[in-house]
Amino acid sequence: MRKVRMNVQGRVQGVGFRYMTKMVADELNIRGTVRNEDDGSVAIEALGPNDTIDLFIQKVKASPSPAGRVTYVDIQDDPFMEDYTSFNVTN
């Protein structure tokens, strides 16, 4: 099981990015959360099997929202991240 924190930058707010990210997470059975940050970026916490997390990261980098555009993604593994039971959109 891999747990990652991601900060996604680019055109990621106001384009359905969080909800499309949730759709991708649900398809892949990824658990976690996605939220807008005050600086215009989107924060994602995700957990799942290693290979599935890798696929999730690829899809986020490609922007799950057709209107979005990802320019940078910071990814950090965090084994101490909370164990989510589902994937939720917040704020």
User: Which residues form the catalytic set?
Assistant: 18, 36
> How far from chain centre, in Å, is Cα 49?
15
Q: Say if CB 30 and CB 52 are below 8 A apart.
A: yes
SS3 84: coil
Q: Say if CB 48 and CB 65 are below 8 A apart.
A: no
Question: Which helix (H) or strand (E) is 35 found in, with range?
Answer: strand 31-36
Task: Give the span between the Cα atoms of 10 and 34, in whole angstroms.
Answer: 15
